[in-house]
Structures are given as C-alpha cells and as structure tokens.
Structure 1
Amino acid sequence: MIVEDEFLIAMEMEQIVGNLGYNCIGVADDTESAIELVLKKPDIAMVDVNLSDGPTGPEIGARLANEYDVKVVFVTANPKQLGNGVKGTLGALTKPLEIEVLKDMLDYLVKVANDRDDAEPPRRMQLFN
C-alpha cells in the first residue's frame, strides 16, 4: 500500500513495486482514502508525511500500524516532522529514493511482516524505537 499525494511519485513507486515482483493493492492520497484502502488488508505500507489533507501521514501511519497491524515505513522529504518516531511504525527513509533502496526497504518490510529473524533495514533508514 502506498500513501502519497504526488501523483507522479505515487505512480512511479507503484510501477517499481510491481516491477520488483510485489503486489501493490493501491494508492491513497489522504486519510479517508488510506482508511478505505486498508480494508483490502495490506501487509505493508509506505506513507508520506504531507498529504492532500495536510500533514496527516504520521496519524495515518500510526493507525495503520496500531489498529490494522500493517508494517509502516515513512517515505518522505520531511523526516524531521516525525520527531523521534511514530509509535508502532518501523522508521523512515528520505526521498528521493533510488530503486535499490526501495527494493531493500520492501525486502525488509516483507521479512518483518513474516517475522523473519534476518530482517535488515536499509542503511539509510532511520529506525524508530
């Protein structure tokens, strides 16, 4: 699941996710569409901070993680807006992302979602406690 309001970025991320062999259940650009999309039961989510309804990404990420058990990583140009992290979420990566970093993040998220012991976060990822 991708939560991103910049149409071109969202489409590119969705295409890359598919090219890497993953299934993207959809793209949301605000709180309402994210909560509708989570009903499709995603395992993982990449969430931006600033969305079409404002800086709601942290709230969305927390809801996805804590209410729906989705593994959440923030992908944002504004990681400082996350402070010391968002409870229940895994961490953040700063945009722009190279395809290799996106691949490493997806591999990490899938391993975490499957409770694998060999889950290693991408080097550039800021982990939350």
Structure 2
Amino acid sequence: MVILVTLSFSGWIICYFVQLTVLGQLAPGSRAVPDLLTALLSVIPAILLTNLLIRPVRRAFAALNPDETKHIVGRSGVIVTPYADENHGMAQVEDGGAGLLLQVRARPGERFLRGQRAALLEYRPEDNSYLIVPELEL
C-alpha cells in the first residue's frame, strides 16, 4: 500500500509540474493530446522516483515479516504419513498454536514410520521441506 501511495503521489507531482511549466503555456483547445501523453509518460519517472524513495525504508518493512522457518528448526514432531524417507513425508510440529503440518525428508537410507518422533535439522528451500533426524540424535 505504501508503494502504491508513493507511486500515485510521484506521478501526480510530475504531472503537476509539467502542467505548470510546459502545458500551461499552450492554448486551452490544443492541450488534449499533450495532457494525455503527459499522464501516460509520467508513469516511467514516477516508478523511478518511487524506487528511490522506498529503497531507504525497505529494511524496516522486511523486519515486519521475519522468516518463520528459522524459529522451528530444532523442534521435534510426529510423522503423520505412513512413512517418511528422502522423497516423501509429513510431520506435525507443535508451535504453541494450532500446530504445523510440514513437508519433511529423511537422510538417504533412513525411513521413519507413522507415529515416530523426529527432529527438524534444517530447512531445504529447494523443495520447501525440512531435513529430519531421529529425535534422540539431538
């Protein structure tokens, strides 16, 4: 929303100053086409100006959406699919709320059965899953 407001305001400011300095000198009957062109072409500098204005506050907005994957690594959960191996599996992890149902993958050669407890070792962004190990290893 902040970006859209800044973009709109930037475009309006650009159109205003073009109207004030250039288009105001034209006869009222011959301004329709230049007015339309100004409105359409003001989008490009408005985007650039918005980018310059928003860039300094980007870190502040990023802090409002922290990465939740880091907070659950190290927790343990229960396998809820018939099995979990290196290609397939889901686990229920309690997070203090309603709980999370996560995609999990075991190390090659390991297999977890339904009901077994496993610990989340690391997040794997390539397939949006967590590497799991037996809970006793942690």
- The TM-score range, normalised by the shorter chain, is under 0.3
Say which one has the larger Rg.
Answer: 2
Q: Report which of the two has the higher share of helix.
A: 2
Normalising to structure 2: TM-score of the pair? 0.19
Q: Work out which structure has the larger RCO, using CA pairs closer than 8 Å and 6 or more positions apart in sequence.
A: 1
Normalising to structure 1: TM-score of the pair? 0.20
Q: Report which of the two has the higher share of strand.
A: 2
